[in-house]
Amino acid sequence: MSILRVEPVVMDSFGIEPTLRDDTLSVKLTGTGDMAAVGPLGFFLKDIQSEALRLRVSAVAFDVRALYFLNSSCLKALISFISSVAGQGLKCKVEFITDARLGWQRRSLTALERMSPELVSIADT
Amino acid sequence: MSTKRRTIALLMDYVGGDYQSEVRFGVERAAEAHDVNLLVAFGETLALPGATDAAQNSIYHLIGEETVDGIIVASATLCHHIGIEGMREFLRGYAPLPVFSIGMEIEGIPSLTVDNAFGIELAVGHMVDAHGRRRVAYIGGPANNEEARTRAEAYWGALAARAVPPDERLFAEGAFTIDSGRSAMRDLLARGGEPDAVVAANDKMALGAMELLKERGIRVPQDILVAGFDDAVIARFSKPSLTTVRQPMKRLGALAMDSMVRMLDGKDVQDVALLEVELTCRESCGCGVQASASLPPPGTTGRGGAALIAAQRGSLERALRRSVSIPTGSLDGWPGDLLSALEAELTGKEGRFLHALEALLDAAGRAGAILDHFQGAIAVLRERLHRPVEDGGDGVFQDALERLWHASRIVIGSASVRVEGERRLNVELASMYLSWSARSFSTCLSLPILKRVMASELPALGFSRVAVSLYDSTHGGHDPQQTTMKTLFLMEGGREVEPPPASFPARLLAPDGFLGGGERTTLIAIPVAFGDLEKFGVAVLNSGAHELVYDALRLQLGSAVKAAALHREMIRQVELRERLEQERIHQESVVAARIQTTLVPERLSVEGLELSALMKPAAAVGGDYYDVLATAEGGWLGIGDVAGHGLAAGLVMLMIQSMVSALTRRDPGASPARLISAINAAVYENVRGRLMRDEHATLLLLRYERGGRVTFAGAHDDIIVCRARTRRCVCIPSSGVWIGALPAIDAMTRDAEFVLEDGDVLVLYSDGVTEARDAHHEQFGLERLCAAIESAQSASVVAIRDRVLKEVEGWCPSPDDDITMVVARYRAPRQP
pLDDT in tens, A96-117: 999 878 777 877 788 888 888 8
- Same-domain pairing of B280 and B323: no
Range of weakest confidence among B479-493, B601-615, B697-711, B735-749:
B479-493
> Does residue B123 fall inside a structural domain?
yes
Cβ neighbours of residue A73 closer than 8 Å, sequence gap 6 or more = A35, A38, B643, B644, B645
CB–CB of B736 and A73 under 8 A? no
Closest chain A residue to B768 measured between Cα atoms? A71
- Is residue B396 over pLDDT 60? yes
pLDDT at B324: 81
Residue B59 included in any domain: no
Burial (CB < 10 A; 0-12, 13-18, 19+), residue B828, is middle
- pLDDT exceeds cutoff 50 at B303: no
Other beta carbons within 10 angstroms of residue A91's beta carbon come to 10
Domain range for residue B634?
Answer: 599-826
Q: Where residue B717 sits, what CATH number does that domain have?
A: 3.60.40.10
Picking from B694, B735, B742, the nearest residue to A80 by CB comes out as B694
Q: Residue B741 is nearest to which of A34, A73, A83, comparing CB atoms? A: A83
Query: What are the residues facing B606 on neighbouring strands?
Result: B609
**More confident call, A86 vs B90:** B90
- The reported pLDDT for the residue numbered B169 is 94
Q: Decide: B279 and B123 in contact? Cβ < 8 Å.
A: yes
Q: pLDDT band for position B211 (50/70/90)?
A: very high
Cβ atoms of B620 and A72 closer than 8 Å? no
Residues in chain A: 125
Domain check: are B144 and B188 in the same one? yes
- B36, containing H or E segment: none
Comparing A57-61, B326-330, B349-353, the range with the smallest average pLDDT is B326-330
* Cβ pair A114:B742 closer than 8 A: no
Are the beta carbons of B715 and A73 separated by less than 8 Å? no
CB neighbour list of residue B460: distance below 8 Å, 6 or more residues apart: B433, B436, B437
Beta-carbon separation of B645 and A115 below 8 A: no
CATH number, domain containing residue B164: 3.40.50.2300
Same structural domain for residues B202 and B336?
Answer: no
B821 within domain boundaries: yes
Query: B640 and B704 in one domain?
Result: yes
Q: Which of B108-117, B643-652, B720-729 has the lowest mean pLDDT?
A: B643-652
Residues B179 and B238 in one domain: yes
Helices (H), ranges, B347-394: 352-366, 374-385
Asked if A73 lies within 8 A of B770 by C-beta distance, the reply is no
On chain B, the residues whose CB falls within 8 A of the CB of A120 are none
Minimal-distance CA residue of chain B relative to A32: B777
The domain tally of chain B equals: 3
| Nearest alpha carbon to residue B54 among B593, B729, B668, B530 | B530
Write the residue in B643, B694, B717 that is nearest to A107 by C-beta: B717
- Pairwise CB contact (< 8 Å): B715 & A111: yes
Helix (H) or strand (E) holding A121: strand A120-124
- At B292 the pLDDT is 38
Task: Compute φ and ψ for B203, nearest 5 degrees.
Answer: -70, -35
For residue B641, the chain A residues in CB contact (below 8 A) are 72
pLDDT, residue A103, reads: 73
In angstroms, the first-to-last Cα distance of chain B is 126
Task: Give the one of B644, B694, B741 whose C-beta lies nearest to A115's C-beta.
Answer: B741
| Residue-level length of chain B | 832
- Choice among B282-286, B373-377, B428-432, B672-676 with the minimum mean pLDDT: B428-432
> Which CATH number among 1.10.10.10, 3.40.50.10490, 3.30.750.24, 3.30.70.20 corresponds to the domain A9-124?
3.30.750.24
Within 8 A of A103 by CB-CB distance, chain B residues are: 770, 779, 781-782
Mean pLDDT of B25-50: 82
Which three-class secondary structure state does DSSP give residue B500? coil
Determine phi and psi for B447, rounding to 5 degrees.
Answer: -65, -40
Identify whether B199 is part of a domain.
yes
* Angle at the Cα of B712 from the Cα atoms of B708 and B713, rounded to 5 degrees: 175
Does residue B789 share a domain with residue B649? yes
**H/E element, B789:** helix B781-792
Q: Does some domain include residue B244?
A: yes
In a domain, B263, yes or no: no
Q: Give ∠ CA B249-B255-B261 in degrees, rounded to 5.
A: 145
Is residue B823 packed enough to be buried (19+ CB in 10 Å), middle (13-18) or exposed (0-12)?
A: buried
Q: Which residues of B176-201 are buried (b: 16+ CB within 10 A; e: fewer)?
A: bebebbbbbbbbbbebebebbbbbbb
The overall average pLDDT reported for chain B is 86
Cα–Cα distance for residue pair B568/B636, rounded to 1 Å: 58
Q: At B143, which helix (H) or strand (E)? A: none
Amino acid letter, B657:
Q
Counting beta carbons within 10 angstroms of the beta carbon of residue B234, is it exposed (0 to 12), middle (13 to 18) or buried (19 or more)?
middle
Q: Which of B641, B718, B777 sits opposite A72 (nearest CB)?
A: B641
pLDDT at B98 over 90: yes
Query: B589, B653, B680, B779: best mutation site toward chain A, by most A Cβ within 10 Å?
Result: B779
Q: Where are the alpha helices (DSSP H) in B238-373?
A: 249-264, 305-311, 313-323, 334-346, 352-366
Q: Find the residue in B nearest to A107 (Cα).
A: B717
Q: Determine which of B625, B677, B719, B738 to mutate to test the interface with A (most A C-beta atoms within 10 Å).
A: B738
Measure the CA–CA gap between B102 and B569, rounded to whole angstroms: 44
Contacts of B696 in chain A (CB under 8 A): 76, 79
Chain A residues closer than 8 Å to B620 by CB: 35
Confidence band of B305 (pLDDT split at 50, 70, 90): low
Q: Is the ipTM beyond the 0.90 threshold?
A: no
Is there a contact between B643 and A35 if contact means CB atoms under 8 Å apart?
no
Q: Compare all CA atoms of chain A with the CA of B733 and give the residue at the minimum distance.
A: A107
Name which of B645, B715, B737 is nearest A73 (Cβ-Cβ): B645
Please list every residue in chain A whose beta carbon sits closer than 8 Å to the beta carbon of residue B589: none
The domain boundary, picked from B405, B422, B439, lies at B422
Q: Using CB atoms, which residue from B643, B718, B737 is nearest to A72?
A: B643
Q: Do B737 and A115 touch (CB under 8 A)?
A: yes
Which of A68, A76, A114 lies at the smallest CB-CB distance from B694?
A76
Is the pLDDT confidence value at B290 over 50? no
| Same-domain pairing of B624 and B736 | yes
* Chain A residues within 8 Å of chain B (Cβ atoms): 13, 32, 34-35, 68-69, 71-73, 75-76, 79-80, 83, 103-104, 107, 111, 114-116
The answer to whether the Cβ–Cβ distance between A73 and B781 falls below 8 Å is no
E strand or H helix that includes residue A19? strand A14-21
Mutate to test the interface with B, among A68, A71, A72, A82 (most CBs of B within 10 A): A72
CA distances in angstroms from B231 to B76, B202, B250, listed in the order given: 16, 8, 12
A114 with B773: Cβ contact below 8 A: no
Contact B471, B537 (CB under 8 A): yes
CB-CB contact of B6 with B28 (8 Å): no
- Check residues A54 and B531 and name the one with the higher pLDDT: A54
Highest mean pLDDT among B211-225, B259-273, B503-517: B211-225
A/B interface, count of CB pairs below 8 Å: 65
Q: What is the least distance, in Å, from the CA of A120 to any CA of chain B?
A: 13
Q: Which of B698, B615, B749, B788 is nearest to A104 (CA)?
A: B698
Question: Tens digit of pLDDT for each residue in B753-798?
Answer: 999 999 999 999 998 899 888 888 888 989 999 999 999 999 999 9
Q: d(Cα B280, Cα B293) in Å, to the nearest integer?
A: 9
Say if the Cβ atoms of B643 and A107 lie within 8 Å: no
- Residue A49's DSSP bridge partners are none
Nearest-CA distance from B590 to chain A in Å?
Answer: 19
Specify if B688 maps to a domain: yes
Q: Which pLDDT score, from 0 to 100, does residue B300 have? A: 34
The number of C-alpha atoms within 13 Å of B72 and in the hemisphere containing its C-beta is 34
Q: Taking a C-beta distance cutoff of 8 angstroms, is the pair B808, B769 a contact?
A: yes
Same-domain check for residues B211 and B333: no
Task: State the smallest CA–CA distance between residue B502 and chain A in angstroms.
Answer: 44
